[in-house]
């Protein structure tokens, strides 16, 4: 059972971690390391505590709550980031380094803001094993703009072959 403060205000990591009964330590730079899984599933949460300066060694889950944002999510998750079964409209604030990402049963319009370096993604748009395996139509913002991740990939490569014809991009700074 979570302390009532979890439901009244956004707790800092200093306040939240002792209440969660998980092994954690403060690092020399002032950040925190959770040395196990961090499970906030099925807690009736409408918002996350501010865990933005927390690294979770293994898995983080905030599934089956009433979250509309991932603001406050851990800065780093070692293996799996699970946020399925919420009311999320975007994946902004999701940890960028999780190897597995589960975001089914939300209100996502696209996967434009999904972290790029996953090895498994389970979403309402399908299951994927790499960012490049996601169809382009799911990597665009609602309205057709290309995601920042895709734009960065294009900027790095500068040209592609489309149906064996070169396609070149010019990027303005």
Is 154 a domain residue? no
Is 125 a domain residue? yes
Is 109 a domain residue? yes
Look up the domain containing 118 and give its range.
5-138
- pLDDT given at position 45: 94
Low-confidence residues of the chain: pLDDT under 70: 1-7, 142-173
- pLDDT given at position 141: 73
- pLDDT given at position 151: 55
The 3-class secondary structure across the chain, one letter per residue, is CCCCHHHHCCCEHHHHHHHHCCCEEECCCCCEEECCCEECCCCCCCCCCECCCEEECCCEECCCCCCCCCCCCCCEECCEEECCCCCCCCCCCCCCCCCEEECCCCCCCCCCCCCCCCCEEEECCEEECCHHHCCHHHCECCCCCECHHHHHHHHHHCEEEECCEEEECCCCC
Q: Is 64 left (phi over 0), alpha (psi -120 to 50) or beta?
A: left
Is 150 a domain residue? no
- pLDDT given at position 106: 97
- pLDDT given at position 85: 98
Domain count, the chain: 1
Report pLDDT digits (tens) over 2-42.
656 566 788 999 999 999 989 999 999 999 999 999 999 99
Is 160 a domain residue? no
- pLDDT given at position 3: 56
Look up residue 80 and give its two tokens: 């799996």
pTM of the model: 0.79
Is 113 a domain residue? yes
Is 155 a domain residue? no
Is 144 a domain residue? no
């Amino acid at each position: 059972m979570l302390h009532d403060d979890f439901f009244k205000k956004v707790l800092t990591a200093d306040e939240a971690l002792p209440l969660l009964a998980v092994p954690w330590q403060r690092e020399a730079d002032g950040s925190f390391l959770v040395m196990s899984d961090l499970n906030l599933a099925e807690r009736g949460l409408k918002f996350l505590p501010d865990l933005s300066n927390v690294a979770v060694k293994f898995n983080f889950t905030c599934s089956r709550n009433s979250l509309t944002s991932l603001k406050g999510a851990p800065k780093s998750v070692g293996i799996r980031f699970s946020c399925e079964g919420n009311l999320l409209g975007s994946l902004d604030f999701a940890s960028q380094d999780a190897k597995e990402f589960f975001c089914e049963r939300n209100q996502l319009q696209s996967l434009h803001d999904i972290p790029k370096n996953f090895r498994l993604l389970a979403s309402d748009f399908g299951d994927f094993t790499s960012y490049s395996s996601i169809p382009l139509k799911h990597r665009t913002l609602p309205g057709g703009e290309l995601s920042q991740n895709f734009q960065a990939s294009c900027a790095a490569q500068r040209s592609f072959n489309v149906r064996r014809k070169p396609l070149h991009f010019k990027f303005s700074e």
